[in-house]
Amino acid sequence: MAEKKEKLTKSDEIWNKIKGLPINLYALGGVTIESQSQRLVVVDDLVYLRLKTSASLPLIEEAIQNIKLPSGERLEFAPEKDYIVISATFAAR
């Protein structure tokens, strides 16, 4: 019997696209968005990240600014008090 694959949420799609993106933190090699944040699963269409260091905030914003999802959506970045929110939108830049 074939196993059912879980349907990916928009949040999963965004996370899969950005988690391996490199960021230039303290000129160290091999630093990625995933290594500098903790993903919080809150809603199905947004990615919530808690950062390990505030220095990674502008670097993550820079890393995702030109990312496009297969559907043509671009990523929006919104810093909040204790986390950042990344969402997909068709808004023009």
pLDDT class for 92, splitting at 50, 70, 90?
low
Cα-based distances in Å from 41 to 12, 44, 55, 62, 79: 9, 8, 23, 23, 16
**Per residue in 66-90, pLDDT tens?**
888 888 899 999 999 889 999 998 8
pTM, entire model: 0.82
Amino acid at 28: L
d(CA 68, CA 62): 13
Per-residue pLDDT tens digits for 34-61? 999 999 988 889 999 999 988 888 999 9
- Mind listing the domains of the chain with CATH numbers? 10-18+31-89 (3.30.1360)
Local confidence band at 26 (pLDDT 50, 70, 90 cut-offs) = confident
pLDDT of residue 90: 83
pLDDT of amino acid 33? 92
